[in-house]
Structure 1
Amino acid sequence: MSFELNVAMQAGGSSQFYPTLPTGFAPNPGGGPAHFHTLTSGHVQPQQLSQHQKATTQPQQTGSQTLSHSPSPPNSYYKDERTQRQHTKLLRKLEKQREMINSANNSPINGTKKHDHVIATPGVSLSDPANSNSSVKSSTDNGLGVIQSVQNINKSIVQPKQDTSPLRQPLKKHILHSQTTQRNGGIASNISQSGLSYGVNVVSSKEDKGEFSSNVLVDEEDPQALIIEQLSAIQKPSVINLTSRSAKIIWEGPIITDSQIDTRNLRYNVLLSDRAKDGKYKSLYKGDSYDCIVQDLQPGQMYVVRVQVYYNKMHGTASEASEFMTPPCEPDQPMPPKLVMRTKNSLHLRWSNPPSNGSPIQHYLLEYDDGKSGLSLSTRSSRQNNENDCHNFVEATKTKGKHYTLTKLQPSTVYYFRLAAVNDVGMSLYSTICSYCTSNNPPIAPKPPKLQSSSPTTIRLWWERRQQDGDYVLQILDPDSGHGYLNAYNGPDTSHECCELRRATYYQFRLRAENEAGSSPWSNEVTYQTAPEKPGKPGKPHVKGKIHGTHFRARWDPPIDMGGAEIIRYFLEITSGAKFERIYSGTDTESICDRLQPGTTYQLRASCEGPAGISPYSDVAHITSEALVPAAPSPPYYDSPPGPYAAVLRLDKPENSGGAPILEFEVQMRHSVDDKYAIANKTNDYSIVYHGRDTFCVVKDLQPGWPYEVQVRAINRIGAGPWSSWFRFSAAAAPPNTPENLNVIIKSATHLLVNWEEPSNNGAPIQEYRLESLTAENESDLTFENSSHKSAYLPCYHGGQTSIDLRNLSPFTIYYFRVNASNAAGVSKWSTCIQARTPAAVPAAPQIKDCEFTAKKAVLNWSKPECNGACITGYTIECAEKSITTADANTTYTIHGLIPETTYKIRLQAINSIGCGPFSTYTKFTTLPSPPPPPTLECTGVGHNFIKLKWGDGKNVDFIKYYVEMFVQRAKEFQIVYSGTSCMCKVNKLQESTAYTFRVYASTDRAGIGEFSDEYIFSTTPTLPSNIKAPRVAMEGAAACLLTHGVGSASSFVPSGILPETPTSFIAGLGNLSLGVPLTLEWQNSKNSFNDPVEYVLQYAIGKDGDYRRIYRGPET
């Protein structure tokens, strides 16, 4: 009977559930959930065990695996293969040792009798591996080796009193693990965390005095034995909240009398055993709680539970066992019934026993849907396992047996079944729904198959499926083969394609349905035909009759292979080299090809169409039409206009050459019949002007300006074609003659009138005249014969008039003129040049170049204008409604007396002997504001290398920028030492005892730079000597002097260098002079960068708080 256990810990009144764990788990390690080790692989990691724990835990785990109510413990994880091999080897040794111990206990010497007691000695912790190995070796020699190993550790073995509780024994003698085999209840070994431990069983007997008996005692001073004894005094646990699947186990902690034991560090190990599994226990929970919940128990099963206490690395013996039995419950869900045999009207079902869960099964309840779900045999496979369908189940039977036969069922019907088991507690869950179908009747004849599609080699048929149909048999009959009907298909599909058939052939088909009951009759026979194929290509087209220049008759032969059907129509296509064009479609095998080009080679091809499609094209035939005379070409034309005496005409070939190459052209010309010249001369004769192969011709001996008409025709081997249309053109006219009598009339200093006479136009109207001029101030500047001046002429008139007024000329200037005429033919030669001088005039308007202005004056500059034949004698300047006339021709003038920050408009004009010229354009400017006055410099601080300067009242609201300059002797000039908006500055890096000259000026962005201030002279101070160290006291000679603060004996000695005003009290205060040696004070020299003499001042004070007075001043040190 298999079951699984889950453990839950309850703390603070709430239960927490945990899955079953192997023994040896540490409470809440690694910060994971309580009582678990968290691994990356998702397994629960057991606590690291000692060697003895590994040896004792492995059998327990092995035994727990035989318990079907719990899963296997987690796998042990090792660092590498070597460690795993050592672990396996050690386990084998310990297992062998335990087998030897058990065999020794079962031997006649160590066999237990009725009053024998098995006393387990406490586990001995072996920290030394050598001792551990020796103990293991000695214990594995024979069964009595265990007693010898106990004697080796110097433990006293005494006979314990029977029926003596560990709690009631005196503290002087403590018995470790004094439990009999009956009390242990089959526990093979105890789990310890204090290292590798071994339990020793000692057998004692009251009846057999010859047998060896001993008890393991511990000295009363051994604290470990006392702790183990108190840990072993735990009461057996209690079981509450017992259900069929779970139970809650509670216990109380042991009575601890030792104050050194911290009860908060106690851990409890719950051991559970199934009596059906030979009393092997399994650890369910290990922690500090006083209860746990066990789940997934088997109903109606007897269980035994114990509790064992752990403290640090020690543990006591397990408590007494508490037995409990889970109440029974309803059976488990049974498996669905299986079909044994079926007929048309019955189904024989069989099923197996489910777990009864502690109460015998009274009977089984079989239900079915009475075949009313509306499902047939054809839909059985699609919905057989669908449990979500709604079924109206009714009871079929209640029986204690495990099989049943349902009768009086409908043939070919699907029935759904479910099964439940009933015991004293109740009914189990229904099994999963299963379905079985009764046998069927043979189906009736189906409808004949229908045609779905056909091809030249295949026919696809389809048919309808009925409920009673299973598989189908399709047969085919070829009347030409003589084999009768043959099977074409056998299977459950409702369509089939028959392949490898002949084209355009009739076939007969019939269909039969089959199911489990038998086969139906054959359906009615149907006949279907395969599709024909495309016909083969027709014969190559050829000419029938005579070939004409624009048409001929073509015919072709039918194809040899018609594809199994008659030809529906033929197609004829023709092309001259670009793209085939269909010109015929019909049932005939010949057609007329018209609208052809003479002398052109055509390609012909034919094709035909049958029921299956269009055939390939036939071979291409090449047929050339007969040639004709060429068509009329386009009229002649020219690329460039004809000349006055000849014209070059272009000739194009006709679009239709008649099918033969063009050999030559012929051109004829005549005078235009509409022209006045032809009417006057009474002539309109034709003349051949060109006959040749070239595509151009030159027509000569033309009259300038006369109109002509020409036409052309082409000639091939057949003959000359028709003439083209007439092309009309006119001979070009000649340029006109040179204009004559060019004359100039002076109107004013800037106005001239030029005229001339109209020349002969030479056959074309004059279109315009071109008048050009050349300017020179003196006659010597230009010579007409000088060719270098010919390009200097500038056009001054274009038009059809013979006179022109020239205005806006330069006064007192010589102008040279020439003129020519032009028509459609060209331009005439230039006329003879004539000259004319314009009189003098007033000067031109001057141009103001720039105007420089300050707050009270402005300087005006302008360029000198043209004098126009008379020298400029002066200028008139208008400024602020005042007129200023200069007495000379100077182009610069300064205007004084202007008002600061005032806008002025200025213009001027030039004056010569003729008069005043025009004014220039206005120039506008605004004078600057008055620059700020210079401030007064003051010296606010001076040192040996710097001077501090200050100016103004310290306020600078207008953000005036100040510039302080100092005169530098080396450069012999003033240089700027400060610039900014501040009102003070400091000049550094100066020399001591030196006079410096300063000046200052102010400026603003608008007013500009102001005047310099007066020069100020300031001097630096001398440099102070550098500091020296305090003086030291020295004595001339070898004797030493001691300075004291007391007054010594009177002495008339006065040190050299002491000032006369030094009081005698100081001299007396110098102390006792030993041996009458005078007192000398010394100090170091003052190291300075200057060469001036230095004097030293020595001061003294009497007492600590006395005032200093000077006693010496001089150059000595």
Structure 2
Amino acid sequence: MYILSVMADHPPPPLDSTPLLTTDIPLLPAPIVNGEGGQQVILVQVNPGEAFTIRREDGQFQCITGPAQVPMMSPNGSVPPIYVPPGYAQQVIEDNGVRRVVVVPQPPEFHTGSHAVIHRPPPPIPGFIPLPAMMPPPPRHIYSPVTGDVASQYTPQYHPAQVYGDLDALSTHGRSNLRDERSSKIHERLQKKLKDRHGVQKEKLNSPPFSPKKSTSPINESNGLIKGQNSGLNTGQAKNKHKGKGGSPVEAEIQEKDDETKALEALLSTVSKPVASDIQARSVTLSWSSPSSLISEENDGTCSPEAYTYEILLSSSGKDGKYKVAYSGEKTSVTMDDLRPATDYHARVQAESNCVKGSLSEEASFTTLSCEPETPNNPRITNRTKNSLTLQWKASCDNGCKIDRYLLEWDEGKGNKEFCQCYDGPQKQFRLTKLSPAMAYTFRLAAKNDMGTSGFSEEVEFYTSGSAPTMPASPTLNKAGISWLSMQWTKPSGTPSDEGISYILEMEDETSGYGFKPIYNGDDLTFTVKNLRRSTKYKFRVIAYNSEGKSSPSEVVEFVTCPDRPGAPSKPSVKGKVHAHNFRIVWDPPKDNGGAAVTKYVLEMSEDSNGNKWDVIYSGMTREYLCDHLCPGSTYRLQVHCISDGGKSAVSDTLLVQTPAVFPGPCQPPRLQGRPRAREVQMKWAPPQLDGGSPVTCYSLEMLPADANEHREVYQGHDLECTVASLLPGKAYSFRLRAANKAGFGPCSEKCEIITAPGPPDQCRPPQITCRSATCVLIHWEAPNNNGAEITEYRVEWGGMEGSMQICYCGPGFNYEVKGLSPAIVYYCRVQAVNIAGAGHFSDVVACLTPASVPAAVTSLWGVKEEDINSSSYCPSTCLAIQWEKPCDHGSDITTYSIDYGDKQPIAVYKATSYILDHLQPDTTYRIRVQALNSLGAGPFSHSVKLKTKPLPPEPPRLECAVYSHQNLKLKWGDGASKALPTDSIQYHLQMEDKNGRFVSLYRGPCHTYKVQRLNESTSYTFHIQACNEAGEGPFSSEYVFTTPKSLPAALKDGVSDPI
């Protein structure tokens, strides 16, 4: 349902063409037209030139000016009453189910009473609330409705009943959003003036009210809301072009309020421009003065407001750029933070009071300081290989100071969050090499300039390249079932055994039409596909993948599920009597044939007492069979199964039949199980073909060594295998077997000849070590027992630690000389013998200590910089400071160092690693080398370093005065030209004595003349001079005294004489 409040002479615009209050407010769904629901959305249309006042949920009043549509919700579905001012009538128009309430004018009615009829709007219906999410923000200043003939009576708004007491109360509540007490006092003074105006116009109230009349000039006023200037708020002026005697009291009051606003705006515009102080890289302090307290007496005695609100507007795009509000408050000094370094800013201040704003002040300009760069973005990778990473980054904001270096750190692939520097330079890319494949490395980046170092970027992790797996072989079928297929596959060729690879098994069911779909994803090499249809063809392929990518799919293979098999036949039974050599058996068909007819029956018989071996004795469709050619005293097991198109059924229950018993027959010769070993063999045998009708209870295995004459029993028991140990390597042995049952032992089997394998050599004895020198030893060992095979080589392990020795010799010899050892070091050694059977045990470890020797050569020798020397007696012209690292002492403490520096006698230094050579010639190059000495002698000299002494500082030149004047002196020194040449290396330092007796510097440079100016006439001045070069500063000269002459008297003017 829509309610449109339309003023007179303004026809309601179409609903779809009426502009909304703001495009940012979301509209509700289409309103319920003549709906029966509990809630209805009502749109109140406010036309141009009108105003609509509502109260929000927080109690604040809001005045909405047209054109606008205000969405409101009626929880109980009722329509609120529309207030009709005097001279108007409301009409309800219903068109297409939409009800419109239109306010139209009516003929005026005249009242004859002694006072005007004051119409008060009725209270709104309870529960009728506006939709706050769709209302515009409230205006920052609302004037109370003016009183008069018509305007005081027309208030198109909905307030609670308690809001409407009298006109003063209505005015006070209409201004509930005023900010402070000072603004309230100003408003009270305005109300007092208005009441005085009411007294003057009291008689006019008794006359009939004027009918509303369309104004010929625009007066932008709605509910007391007037548009202003220079404020951006609806608090400006509204004037009628037709003034004078014909003007109404309302227009006069509007003019008075406009004058009050103008005076306040003029006062607020006197605020001073801000002053910038304490300028930093990202902050500045702005301060300003309050507006002037002077105010014109034309404002009827009102004084300036005591409380102001200020807004600071900043622009970083020039004086005429876009300004943004950076601060709003009552303070006159504020510190602005979050500024950009090295940026030009322009600031202006604007004062506000009683929702009236003054003009902007003049702009104040300032520039923030430079600072360290901004934190750079993460480095990105531009190229990667298995062993290298190329990183690149972009320059961050330099904050006013050029970035000269970048610092790149990494964790070296350790993943422990401990970073170290890998690059420090001006480039914006860096390539790291010698990395490990498929390894993660973490990096972070910082930028540097002259102001400092930025923070590090976020940590970023990059991987070196690996390689994707190659195409695997097609999966193979392990076993097929009725509803499942068990498959397996192998790793791709060339894949390391420790590389983690996963697999995707894909299957295609041609009946589904979806193509290949993954059915397994994991690390296993086998998988069983279940829930398949029996006797159906399926296609399969496998894909291998790792962290670097996927391989190509394998070739497609096809597998078919099996048909269902029939059930097992019944258990066979004996038909008739069991004889010694035969008996007859019969069986019944299976109860379930698996859906296919049985094609044949298979009868199996086992002569093994344990039923491990079954032989097929019959195959056919007949269900009866005569078993003959049997052995007396034997046990037979019989079972039957059937075969159909669906497969082979399970076997039936086993039938056990035993013939009469006799003594067991001979056994087959025992046989070797596996390959013979050096000291043991694994023997195995089978039961005798004839057990004599009684189970075999015991077997006896006998052995005959090659060098013996009698057999000895090595095993007796019921097992069919045994291990014979404690044999000698490479020897021949013979074995025989016999079986026994309850009737006794049967005959022995034939012999079985076996030769044991050769064995590795025995453990060597500890080797003997002889020291030939401090760097050479001789190792000697003896041959152990070879255990049936000739020793082919000996392996000698040697090392400085017992747990990390390495092979230093491999050959058939019995001694070896180890060279290149370090003196005074403990070495460890052991020996191992090897033959064709393998390697024997290592000997016990033997330790050897090499003799001590002279020290090693000094590997690092360098000259010490002059600024790193703390000695006061050090003179760079006659001294050289050197330093070296202590070498290895080779088992004997270093006692002294010998320094050789030319033709002079070497200098001995006791245990120190630095020395200052003095009494040298200036500007001379020396070749210096150092050697270490201990109790065993002197070690080799280090490499030579060339160091040069500096020349002596120059002597001071003679100082002369070339030109005298009463105010200046031109001084000259040396024999050179007055102007310095580019090749001059000598600098001169001229000083003059001041009044306090101290010498102050006048000139420092390469020139040979200097003019001293602004001197006093007839005055003596003292000077001295000093010469400097790369060798240092020379001594000051003796003091020179030069005196300025007296000045000449001024010339007399022509024709002028002093009176007598």
Structure 2 length-normalised TM: 0.27
Q: Considering Cα pairs closer than 8 Å and 6+ residues apart, tell me whether 1 or 2 has the greater RCO.
A: 1
